[in-house]
Amino acid sequence: MVHIVKIGNSQGIRIPKPLVEQAHLEGKELKLQLVSGGLLITPEKKAREGWEEAIEGARVLHQGQETLESEWLDTPLASDDELEW
């Protein structure tokens, strides 16, 4: 159970450690949102968080294979003569 506690001139809550661990909140900045009937607490996502790992994972997955970008770059350009204006 969580209670509101006085912290200086403010108030706060103490979240039990098992809940912090289950929600992966430890050491993260939190975002608070008012929702109907309560308060939603979520970890604040930083811009580009996790991009480096995703790019590295994609690079390893496609290592030694041509990517779609190569297909587009190697495609010959069509002339404008075929276009109707």
Question: Quick one: pLDDT at residue 71?
Answer: 67
Residue type, 58: A
What pairs with residue 42 in β-bridges? 31
Instruction: Compute the distance between CA of residue 42 and CA of residue 28 in angstroms, rounded to an integer.
Output: 9
In tens, the pLDDT along 60-84 reads 776 766 556 666 777 777 776 776 7
The yes or no reply on domain 1-67 and CATH 2.10.260.10 is yes
Distances (CA, A) of 28 to 20, 25, 42, 67: 10, 6, 9, 36
Cβ-contact 4, 12 below 8 angstroms:
yes
In tens, the pLDDT along 13-66 reads 989 999 999 998 999 999 999 999 999 999 888 778 788 888 888 877 767 665
Question: Quick one: pLDDT at residue 60?
Answer: 77
